[in-house]
Structure 1
Amino acid sequence: MLKRLAWLALCVCAPLSAAPHVDNQRLQQLANDPFWISLGHYETAKLGGWRSYVSDKKFFLAPDGNEHPDRELAATVQALYAPASAGEQHAQCVYPARTRWLKAQLNLTDLPTLDCTEFKQWFKDVSPHSAVMIFPAAYLNSPSSMFGHTLLRIDQADVQSDHTALLSYAINFGAYIEGSDNSILYAWKGLMGGYPGLFALVPYQEKLSEYRSLENRDLWEYRLNLTQPETERMVEHVWELKQIQFDYFFFDENCSYRLLELLQVARPSLRLTEQFPLTAIPTDTVKAVKEAGLVESIQYRPSRERELLSRAEPLTDEEQEWVLKVSADQKQLQTPAFKAQPRDRQALIIDASYRLERYRANGQERDPERAQRSFELLRAINQNPAPELDIPRPGLPEDGHESRTWQAGIGTRGDKAFGEYGLRMAYHDLNDNAESFPLGAQIEILQMKLRQYEGNDWQFQQLDLATIRSLTPRNELLKPLSWQVTGGLERVPGKHDDETLVSHVNGGGGGTWQLGEDMLGFALGTVRVEHNNDFAGFIAPAAGFNSGLLWKNPLGNFSLETKGDFFTNGEVRRSVSLNQQWELSRNLGLRLSAQREFSHLASPENEVMLEVKWYHY
């Protein structure tokens, strides 16, 4: 900010060089050019005109440049002719992408000459030649990571031939967090726009370590067919965005949306952002980039966690116990019991032990004892190497179903028939079409359901603000916590044998276990806080449970769940439900659900429904 203020002061205190007069028609033509619109991150305002996504006033040269691209352009032309004595704070040095474009469009051959040493050295260090879009896949046990993420890697000319991608730089947009907010608080404030967003250019090796190791997320690398001039133009604009704040919202103005804007700076003919007027889910933005013809190749990099689990997969329970013992104490390698194992099985155990030790070291300060254990295991691996680890590439993240869902169903509750209609803004539940989604993952945002009972009796049935469930299986080596959280409005059994609309927040934690190749069992303890007009108190707390089975079968996904809530006011509410979804196509599903509810306030009730789910946009 100080740089921009410094050169503005110089503009006021010193005479400008002779800036050319740009007639109004040409000014408007340039101000409406897609490239200038992209440079200013403008969008059409709701009531007409323009507004910029940039929330930082210091980005603009005109006082109202955030709403008037033409005035910002005119101010930029004037600023380019400011005295060269402004040095590194001169507009030519602060706005290299604007400068290059306006020089070409207006044939500005008489601009003051400046060195712009800081920018030129920075640009030389980055040395942009080509670009790769990186997609760190969703990671279940972190609510801030369950949607996935995107960033751009900027490669130098010889990266592909020399295999030196680790020396590249990455362009990342993210929430700027001061302090130590936990993951759940981060997700909430991200939803509500509680953080500013900033662009950053960092060594790619740092981001690779962060996502593959610290967060245990698989990486997908989409090499783009941007030319060198297009890549350079995009990187020049990143310099213009240093320390410039944007609004940050988890579901629309997020990392993926901002990177789409950068790609439109690189290639102004693209129309990527206009496809996402409401939400910008990372997988959907990846899909949009592919459909725009920008992707020329795809590479997959598994996380350390996936590598560990893949190595441990062929091991028996007894062999996995050996992994735990060997990783903790390398003297176990010399015991007669271990040496009695076949040599090829020893190799698998030692290799898995080393991977487990390195996995546990993720994010930890260097520990000399752990380093020594890793060294001993590496030496054992050299003496008896395991076969190379071959991890099958999973389904592409963007090949899953679309994010928004329309629902329509018919059913009965007791002796009454009904039709139910719903809309979910995002994203996926436990029974949805499973391709490219991990079993046990659920994240839903803004789901609304209406019912129409016989006699044209309409009823508002449900409004979920957010529902997140992470059912990650435990095993001998890793024991993650499964958890869930949800809040909103829903119908519950009422004291007049009707359904009462209540507001609620509830969550829980527990464990999930792999019962078969495509079957999970889970058990969680839960807590609930509810406002119910049938209760005397304003709010009523409850403790309870949620357990069940998930089975990915040839038809689709099956679930069987039992729930219970035991309120402090004496109300006891229990239910058992089953759901089976048939996957008719990638974006079309048919779901049968059945439920029996028990309540101290009402008679037991049965409900059965058959619904069509259309995944759209």
Structure 2
Amino acid sequence: MSIRLFPLLLSMLGIAVQAAPHPDAATLQKLATDPYWVALGHYEQQTFGGWRSYVDDADFFLAANGERSPLAELTATLDAVYADPQQADSHPQCRFPSRTRWLRQQLQLDDLPAVTCAEFDTWYADINPHTTILVFPDAYLNSPSSMFGHTLLRIDSADAAGSGTALLSYALNFGAMIEDMDNSILYAWKGLAGGYPGQFALLPYREKISEYSSLENRDLWEYRLDLTPEETGRMIEHVWELRQVRFDYFFFDENCSYRLLELLEIARPGLKLIDQFPLTAIPADTVRAVKDAGLIKDINYRPSREKELLARAAPLNPAELSWAQALAADDEALNDNAFAALPTERQSLIQETAYRLLRYQAAGQERDVDSATRSYRLLQAINQNPPPRLEMDIPALPEDGHESRTWQLAVGSQEHRAFAEYGLRMAYHDLNDNLSGFPLGAQIELGKLRVRQYEGNHWQLEELGLVGIRSLTPRTQLLKPWSWQVRAGLERVSGAEGDRPLVGYLDGGGGFTWPLGNNLLTYALATVRIEQNNDFATALSPAAGFDSGLLWRNAAGNLLLEAQADYFHNGEVRRRLALTQQLELGRNLGLRLSATRDFSHLGAAQNEVSLQLRWYHY
């Protein structure tokens, strides 16, 4: 009988050896609130007590209430890592290598069962993490998902770091999972409301370079971080735990930049980067936080394909630019006697400009045999007559621009009524703001509030702007982009008998911008507007109009001279002339002088002047 029981006793002994230890409650509670365990679970402490994980995926948790209890998830993980090692790749040790490593270190778990994690080992060896580079693709107004820029991480192997090439490296990206049917407006709305799940993705870096610098014409800034190979490896180890795991995604806070800051805190515990962003996480601000933490070793700039084209074309006169267009359209122009008569050095510049123009036009398009043939012919001509090396000025670093949130204090007069005005803008930049680190002619404003206090202690809401985007991209002989704008919110307008009613509006328009010289732009846009105005008979009143102006970057700051008009269906005509000059007192301080004159068929013209102090502060 005892012989028959012997296998059972051995089995029970094996189970006992692999049983999870049971640390005392105080030890478990201390570990459950350790910042590193909190970071591994992506937990945040709730305002009124308790915990919640940013992860919106039940598969990430081993405990039934793991999403809201770091202690329950810790206890469940401690039990799970002692499971039968025959589970192999599906074993909790293989699914959660970061948790396993940390618990082994904290509790000296020398008796953990040995598990073979072939899938993880192969994946990790293929990435071979050694160095981390933070990549910032600059803002791109023509894509709602890219208006504020973006951040991702590049993971270099030891071989890539030594060779200086990044084409074989991996890019670690966090982004929204977008449905193909969604248009730009729906995308923007769902992004604001958390309507998309977000996921991490690891893919070849060369694909991201092509996407950002070629397809979207965005400059890339690469910041090499001061992380050791061990710290980089620890971060990538945790990324394995996040495969196919869904997070809530919001444009302004729980976005790409916020999630990557969490990963950096996994790499180097104690950084406390995400604590700096309780409300919003604008990518440029997060880059600045990483820089202020002393994590950046050096910086590399990759200009977009558009920037390189314009830089190469800059020395050409209009006739030479016409030749570049002709060569890009038909390589037979290389045999034209008039082209051959040009000086050799001018031919070399024209040929490379034509080649860059052709590649720019082909970006994002399916491969075309005719285009490829012309490219090859132009490359042959360039090899026979190479141009001088393209030298490009490096623009101001994006993180050196003004901070995103703006506080405003103004004094002024509106038709002889003195007022004080108090304002706040949650993000980000307008046409007159301090320009360093931003492109001239770009504006993105979100969450704009202005409240006025008139004489006699009369308070009123002056403006509540939900969104205001303007893209004034200049047209050139080679490139002819559209300019456009869109705004929505509440604002005060001229009304009957000097009144200024508060109206709801949605307006937008499109047109063109032209350069008149260095740092001088003029633009003209056709506009449409829908307005809810209690002075009008209908609930919603449409209007057509125009918006034109002059934007000048001068020694003091930015000057904007603007003329606008709206022609409503009910006969109301509303026009405005405005002049605004910003004086840049410092990176995060500006003084703005504004003067406007409003005309309306409903009443007399109204004049307003103001002097506003603007403090840029995150």
Q: TM-score, normalised by structure 1?
A: 0.96
Contact 2:411-2:611 at 8 Å conserved across structures: yes
Q: Does 1:335 align with 2:336?
A: yes
Distance 2:577 2:142 in 1: 26
- Write out per-residue CA displacement over residues 308-344 of structure 1, whole angstroms, 9 at most, x where no aligned residue: 0100111111111111111101111111211222111
Match of 2:327 in 1: 326
Contact 1:326-1:353 at 8 Å conserved across structures: yes
Match of 2:298 in 1: 297
| 1:65-104 equivalent positions in 2, closer than 5 A | 65-104=66-105
1:474 partner SS: coil
1:582 partner SS: strand
Amino acid at match of 1:286: V
Distance 1:584 1:351 in 2: 42
Contact 1:137-1:148 at 8 Å conserved across structures: yes
Contact 1:541-1:567 at 8 Å conserved across structures: yes
Contact 1:575-1:595 at 8 Å conserved across structures: yes
Q: Offset of 1:113 from its aligned partner?
A: 1.9
Distance 2:598 2:122 in 1: 68
Distance 2:106 2:162 in 1: 36
Contact 2:131-2:161 at 8 Å conserved across structures: no
| 1:166-181 equivalent positions in 2, closer than 5 A | 166-181=167-182
Contact 1:509-1:524 at 8 Å conserved across structures: yes
| 1:363-512 equivalent positions in 2, closer than 5 A | 363-512=364-513
CA 379–447 in structure 1, closer or farther in 2 if over 3 Å, else same? same
1:499 partner SS: coil
- Write out per-residue CA displacement over residues 430-472 of structure 1, whole angstroms, 9 at most, x where no aligned residue: 0000111100010011000001111111111000011111111
1:181 partner SS: coil
Contact 2:497-2:604 at 8 Å conserved across structures: no
Contact 1:588-1:614 at 8 Å conserved across structures: yes
Q: Offset of 1:401 from its aligned partner?
A: 0.4
Match of 2:599 in 1: 598
Distance 2:161 2:85 in 1: 40
| 1:207-222 equivalent positions in 2, closer than 5 A | 207-222=208-223
Distance 1:63 1:538 in 2: 51
Contact 1:196-1:246 at 8 Å conserved across structures: yes
Distance 2:164 2:617 in 1: 40
Distance 1:474 1:189 in 2: 32
Q: Offset of 1:63 from its aligned partner?
A: 1.2
Contact 1:128-1:155 at 8 Å conserved across structures: yes
Distance 1:376 1:571 in 2: 60
Distance 1:426 1:468 in 2: 11
Distance 2:396 2:373 in 1: 38
| 1:33-432 equivalent positions in 2, closer than 5 A | 33-432=34-433
Amino acid at match of 2:86: S
- Write out per-residue CA displacement over residues 276-321 of structure 1, whole angstroms, 9 at most, x where no aligned residue: 0000000000000011111111111111010001001111111111
2:154 partner SS: strand
Contact 2:592-2:612 at 8 Å conserved across structures: yes
Q: Offset of 1:164 from its aligned partner?
A: 2.7
- Write out per-residue CA displacement over residues 350-408 of structure 1, whole angstroms, 9 at most, x where no aligned residue: 00000000011111111001000000000110111111101111100000001100001
Distance 2:397 2:498 in 1: 48
Contact 1:174-1:199 at 8 Å conserved across structures: yes
Distance 1:492 1:341 in 2: 59
Contact 1:144-1:184 at 8 Å conserved across structures: no
Worse-matched range after superposition: 222-231 or 135-144: 135-144
Q: Offset of 1:98 from its aligned partner?
A: 0.5
Q: Offset of 1:145 from its aligned partner?
A: 1.3
Q: Offset of 1:15 from its aligned partner?
A: 7.2
Distance 2:372 2:327 in 1: 14
Amino acid at match of 2:217: N
Match of 1:4 in 2: none
Match of 2:558 in 1: 557
Amino acid at match of 1:457: H
Contact 2:81-2:92 at 8 Å conserved across structures: yes
Amino acid at match of 1:245: R
Distance 2:570 2:196 in 1: 39
Q: Offset of 1:187 from its aligned partner?
A: 2.6
- Write out per-residue CA displacement over residues 198-247 of structure 1, whole angstroms, 9 at most, x where no aligned residue: 00111111111111111111111000111111111100110100111111
Distance 2:335 2:475 in 1: 29
Q: Does 1:534 align with 2:535?
A: yes
Amino acid at match of 2:332: K
Q: Offset of 1:105 from its aligned partner?
A: 1.0
Match of 2:612 in 1: 611
Contact 1:140-1:472 at 8 Å conserved across structures: no
Worse-matched range after superposition: 558-567 or 134-143: 134-143
Q: Offset of 1:46 from its aligned partner?
A: 1.6
Worse-matched range after superposition: 78-87 or 297-306: 78-87
Q: Offset of 1:515 from its aligned partner?
A: 0.8
Q: Offset of 1:160 from its aligned partner?
A: 2.8
Distance 1:348 1:273 in 2: 48
Match of 2:10 in 1: none
Match of 2:3 in 1: none
Contact 1:597-1:605 at 8 Å conserved across structures: yes
Q: Offset of 1:188 from its aligned partner?
A: 2.8
1:513 partner SS: strand
Match of 1:523 in 2: 524
Distance 2:308 2:557 in 1: 27
Q: Does 1:574 align with 2:570?
A: no
Contact 1:552-1:558 at 8 Å conserved across structures: yes
CA RMSD, 1 decimal: 1.2
Distance 1:185 1:319 in 2: 44
1:191 partner SS: helix
Contact 1:51-1:67 at 8 Å conserved across structures: yes
Q: TM-score, normalised by structure 2?
A: 0.96
Amino acid at match of 2:502: L
Number of aligned residues: 604
- Write out per-residue CA displacement over residues 101-149 of structure 1, whole angstroms, 9 at most, x where no aligned residue: 1111111122222111111100010001110000011123323212110
- Write out per-residue CA displacement over residues 557-592 of structure 1, whole angstroms, 9 at most, x where no aligned residue: 000011111111111111010100000011100000
Contact 2:533-2:540 at 8 Å conserved across structures: yes
Distance 1:316 1:143 in 2: 35
1:139 partner SS: coil
1:18 partner SS: coil
Amino acid at match of 1:460: L
- Write out per-residue CA displacement over residues 495-533 of structure 1, whole angstroms, 9 at most, x where no aligned residue: 232100001111111111111100011111111111100
Distance 1:363 1:239 in 2: 31
1:379 partner SS: helix
2:461 partner SS: strand
Identical amino acids, percent of aligned pairs = 63
Amino acid at match of 2:166: A
Amino acid at match of 1:564: A
Structure 1 unpaired stretches of 5+: 1-13
1:593 partner SS: strand
Distance 2:561 2:255 in 1: 35
- Write out per-residue CA displacement over residues 139-181 of structure 1, whole angstroms, 9 at most, x where no aligned residue: 2332321211000011111223212311011110000012243
Amino acid at match of 2:24: D
Distance 2:327 2:408 in 1: 52
1:165 partner SS: coil
